[in-house]
Amino acid sequence: MELIDGLLARRTTNGPFRPDPVSREHQHLLMRVAQAAPSHFNSQPWRFVLIENPATIARVADLSGQSMTELIDAGVFFERYRRYFRFSEAEMDERRDGIHIDRLPGPLKPFTRQVFSDAGLKLMRQLGVPKKLGEDNRKLVAGSPLLLAALLDRSEYRPGELSGFYSVFGLGAAIENIWNAVGELGMGIQFVSTPMEIPRHWEELGRLLQVPDDLELMAVYRLGYLPDEPHRPAIDWSSRHRKRLPQFVYRESCAQPEEE
């Protein structure tokens, strides 16, 4: 049951990590569990870069924070992702998906629901929210002792072909193994996704990591050991809800939702 309990307890870490370096033993263990994942014809199309160099981490952090500020300031973030936002526990309880922004600084609280309107965006700019969110994100990444870049072999990753789908599927399985294993090691993990939303920042990241032509940079994560007292960022969300069985499982055909 321990494995099942671990899978059910897996989560994303939104807050800071301890500054201590991640032991080489743990880093290699995470790489071993990653490569235990299934892949089409055992092609193992994944590649990883383990990043501990403080100068590289600082630059990735700058790119991440800057991307966050740009995305929020231009309204792109909320435009792109508004459908995932929930504003109350009741809404979350009914849909059972998406993310509930349950922690906001005082002055912003009364305006939570207006965050997607033009007026809401204007107010956020006036209150300096894009800069604040970018800076918080930069600090989170900069304070992480380990970054992990996930790449795919481009001879396998051919978007539009089945092989492209299989490669992404296999990389997802490898990442999920890491995501499941970190808890056992007292560690946490979070996607550093904002730079990939802004092509010029993503390209810079590729150059920073010296990604060769035969590899495609797919994702970057931050990892580290968890502090004893978890610290929640000033703007934070919870996403522990999961759909009920009839909301996502069918019996025999898609015509018959599974009973709870």
25, two tokens: 């033993």
Q: What residues contact residue 71 under an 8 Å CB cut-off, 6+ apart?
A: 77, 194, 197, 198
Stretch that binds ligand FMN, among 26-34, 69-77, 143-151, 187-195 (CB under 6 A): 187-195
Stretch that binds ligand FMN, among 30-38, 129-137, 188-196, 206-214 (CB under 6 A): 188-196
CB neighbour class for 72 (10 Å; exposed up to 12, middle 13-18, buried from 19): buried
46, two tokens: 């994944």
CB of 251 to ligand FMN, least distance (A): 26
Q: Are 71 and 194 in contact (CB under 8 A)?
A: yes
Pick from 10, 15, 238, 27: nearest CA to 148: 27
Q: Which residues inside 227-256 make contact with ligand FMN, applying CB under 6 A? A: 239
Residue by residue, DSSP assigns 2-16 as HHHHHHHH-----SP
Residue by residue, DSSP assigns 206-247 as HHHTT--TTEEEEEEEEEEEPPSS----SSEEE------HHH
Residue 191 as a binder of ligand FMN (CB under 6 A): the answer is yes
Candidates 190, 216, 220, 225: give the one binding ligand FMN (CB under 6 A).
190
Stretch that binds ligand FMN, among 16-24, 25-33, 54-62, 189-197 (CB under 6 A): 189-197
CB of 256 to ligand FMN, least distance (A): 27
Residue 180 as a binder of ligand FMN (CB under 6 A): the answer is no
Residue 177 as a binder of ligand FMN (CB under 6 A): the answer is no
Residue 96 as a binder of ligand FMN (CB under 6 A): the answer is no
Stretch that binds ligand FMN, among 30-38, 41-49, 108-116, 185-193 (CB under 6 A): 185-193
CB of 220 to ligand FMN, least distance (A): 10
Residue 117 as a binder of ligand FMN (CB under 6 A): the answer is no
Q: Kindly list the residues in this chain that would bind ligand FMN in the complex (CB under 6 A).
A: 11-12, 99, 190-191, 193, 239
